[in-house]
A and B are shown apart, each in its own frame.
Chain A
Amino acid sequence: MKASDIIAVLPELVLLVAALAILMVEPFLKPRLQKDEGGAVCGELAPDRTAILAIALTGFAASVAVALFVSGDTRTVFSGMLALDYWSVFFKVLFGITGFITMLISSNYLESHKRHMGEFYALVIFAVIGLDLMAGARDFILFYVAFELMSISSYLLAAYFRYRTKSNESSVKYFLTGSFASAIMLYGISLVYGETGVTNYHGVAVAIANRGGSAAVLFSVVLIGIGLAFKVSAAPFHMWTPDVYQGAPTPVTAFFSTGPKTGAFAVFIAAFVMAFPGAAHNWGIFFIVLSVVTMVVGNLFGLVQTNIKRMLAYSSIAHAGYLLAGLGAMGWTADTYPAGMGVLVYLTAYTFMNLGAFGVLAYLKAQSPDKFDFSLKHFAGLARRSPWAAILLSLFLLSLTGIPGTAGFIGKFYVFGGIVKADLIWLAVLGVVLSAVSAYYYLRVVIYMFFKEPEEELTFKAPISGGMAAALALTAAATVLIGIIPSQLWDAVVRAFGSLTQ
């Protein structure tokens, strides 16, 4: 290791400093004094956590800034463990923004649920550090350790409301199934090492090319694929998704459905393209089979959900299916990567629209924590009570459906375009037909919000304000902008892919 190797991990170091600062500052915050009408002190309230939010936001902003600043430099550091290239910068920026928006959504929500702790922010930051390293890793060992860092933070975030039965259920399910998937993946990695004697992506590819592949390599590809497919909640490894998404705090669900998924896809592409190029056709078939099952399961089960949070969980399964179809097409053709670039565009679009949709849900829940239960009937007549929430949620749902003019359309356009280029027209047709099916359950919510009379009046007192307003404005702007002018994003994606496949 050289001293200059540190440059490659600077964005993560910035985040680490922010997380440690939060953990250090938290115990020293002074509780606010509760005063009665006369102004006399009658009790203590939880301390004001604005300082902690500020540290977290600064950390993410600084991390993104540093990542952009060091971009352009291309090298692998720490004896081939970690790469600094456009690919890792692309994902570091995306994860930084994901974390930033999650922080903004969380603040009001946690305050209204009376469980506002600095550790929450620290855990999200730790998870993002893990994601950053996953995207930059060029070695199975580093990838696995980073993956565990991300996973363990996620299990803890799912259990954040530890007094609630649903939250406990969610965390235990996530932890048990997640550890099981990790073990399967680790077994795959050990097979790779047994076959080749190295763990470096590039070294694995060289060793396999020199000595010829074997059934054990294919086996390990499948095992590693299963471990990651669990994280992207691809069917048939999706069983945990609705329960975990329902039981986790809504801002955490927003993070789960975007961050870890994007991270797993980054590894899917980087590891499989770099380490197993010879078996590309085979893992292409593996992903195509997964994607067909995932798209069908996600969309059909989504149709019958009446709890919007669960509905969005199935929707995120369906979206994982479209993305996997893109990966499948990428492996199928082996040498051209239009579908792979489409996957990156889709991931970016998906990050913004899903964060936005869950953000609106978090706002609604924060407004009446003990009444609102995410059931469809509570969305009836929302347009009159809280017009901005209704309009924004409609925008995000339309984007998830893939209506032209929104980010979702651009994502689907590039992915399905890539699939058609790979001569898998039947797969593209299946995807488009199933996204048409998905319109039913997305648009049903819109119809409830605008055209149904509410059965019971839920009061949503405060308008969208503060951090929540900033988060929703950011995501809505990104959803519309990517939908109208995707060229900047496309350029970044092409550059990222260029540095990966060199």
Chain B
Amino acid sequence: MVEKILFIIFAVLTVAGAIGTITRKNMIHGLLLLVFTFLNVAAIFFLTQAYFVAMIQILVYAGAIMVLFVFVLMFLNLRSFQQEKQTHRQRWIALVLSVLVLVEFVAVLYGVTKAKYGFSLASVQGGYSPDQIAAAGGNNQVFAKALFNDMLLPFEVASVVLLVAMVGAIIMVKKEKHGQMATRQWEPGAEPALDVAEEEV
């Protein structure tokens, strides 16, 4: 019962934090709310006894990745961001449609969960239950075995994905010694006159 109440509290806070993240005009506020969301997600992982994932969530997401985000935002010119206006006009249609989708999600998942588990906090069938994890030697052992045995190939492919990200970062910023394309710069708000044919690539 306590678990259930705690879960509801953290879940509500997570969703509130996520909504706050995307609605703040001030980017720094948005970022801090994102950290708040990550911490709440970590709390939910704790509740489900996935301690290892919970710690990783705090260390990697709330720690490392957020620091990176903050750095990037500090480097960018935030003021010009806040002056940007949204140009799309379908906000209300989008709102109606997303509420409809939300209702659909809730209805389907509510029905399924009720039919299957009758709303107990039992673990999903087929996955690992806390008892199995304890018998196998604890969270870290189970996690490591899954990651480096069953999931070995995806793990290796993920490292290639990281390599691609690095290569990409290099080609996006590398200064060209021999290229003849110059960087174009203009003041914010001043629309550049583009050479139509040259813009087509």
Q: What residues make up the interface of A, taking CB atoms closer than 8 Å to B?
A: 1, 9, 16, 23, 31, 44-47, 78-79, 81-82, 113-115, 117, 119-120, 122-123, 126, 129-130, 133, 139, 141-142, 144-146, 148-149, 152-153, 155-156, 159-167, 193-198, 207, 211, 214-216, 219, 246-250, 307, 309, 365, 369-374
Contacts and interface: CB of A to CB of B under 8 A. Distances in A.
B158 A119 contact: no
Interface stretch (B7-15, B40-48, B56-64, B181-189): B181-189
Given A78-B152, A156-B167, A159-B172, 15 more contacts: A78-B153, A79-B150, A114-B178, A119-B170, A119-B171, A152-B168, A153-B164, A153-B168, A211-B125, A215-B108, A248-B201, A365-B200, A365-B201, A370-B197, A371-B197
Contact of A166 (B127, B161, B200): B200
Contact of A82 (B126, B153, B158): B153
A139 B105 CA distance: 25
A23 B170 CA distance: 11
B127 to A, nearest CB: 4
Interface of B: 105, 108-109, 111-112, 115-116, 124-127, 149-154, 157-158, 160-161, 163-165, 167-168, 170-172, 176-184, 192, 194-201
A26 B92 CA distance: 51
A109 to B, nearest CB: 9
B112 A216 contact: yes
Given A81-B154, A126-B160, A167-B201, A160 B171 contact: yes
A133 B157 contact: yes
A97 to B, nearest CB: 22
A216 B51 CA distance: 28
Contacts of A372: 197, 200
Nearest to B113: A216
Contacts, number: 144
B125 to A, nearest CB: 5
B157 A119 contact: no
> Interface majority SS on A: helix, strand, loop or mixed?
helix
A370 B153 CA distance: 46
Contacts of B165: 152
A123 B169 CA distance: 12
Given A142-B154, A145-B154, A247-B201, A119 B167 contact: yes
B199 A141 contact: no
A195 B182 CA distance: 54
Given A156-B164, A214-B112, A215-B111, A149 B198 contact: no
13 contacts: A1-B152, A44-B177, A46-B179, A114-B181, A119-B170, A149-B164, A156-B164, A162-B171, A162-B172, A194-B124, A215-B112, A216-B112, A374-B200
